[in-house]
Amino acid sequence: QVQLAESGGGLVQAGGSLTLSCAASGSIFSIYSMGWSRQPPGKRRDLVAAITSAGRTNYADSVKGRFTISRDNAKNTVYLQMNSLKPEDTAVYYCYRNTNGIINWGKGTLVTVSS
């Protein structure tokens, strides 16, 4: 059973940057697609960014050009670099692993962007 542990959330002013990390334990990390989703207060959880085992990336339109997802297979870790943060980026950010459509979630880390 994989365990995913997010870190790096916090409070930041609009225009600032944060980097989230997600450390995975368990099975071979490099063969899985990984990603980040977020859930703003009172709203549904939506995809933010994803990265395949081959390193192909995909982003939500709302974060394109501002967020970058990357992975370090040697460290079993996936990252989300977030720049030019906006108040509407405030949410709990969840790391996930996609195993042929089966999703494992981390517990989330809160990002708050003040205006």
Exposure of 46 in the CB half-sphere (CA atoms within 13 A): 14
The candidate with the shortest Cα–Cα distance to 17, out of 7, 25, 9, 6, is 9
Mapped onto helix, strand or coil, the DSSP state of residue 74 is: helix
Q: Which residues of the chain have pLDDT under 50?
A: none
Which pLDDT does position 22 carry in this prediction? 97
Which pLDDT does position 51 carry in this prediction? 97
Q: What is the pLDDT of residues 45-72, one digit of tens each?
A: 999 999 999 999 999 999 999 999 999 9
> Are 70 and 56 a contacting pair, CB within 8 Å?
no
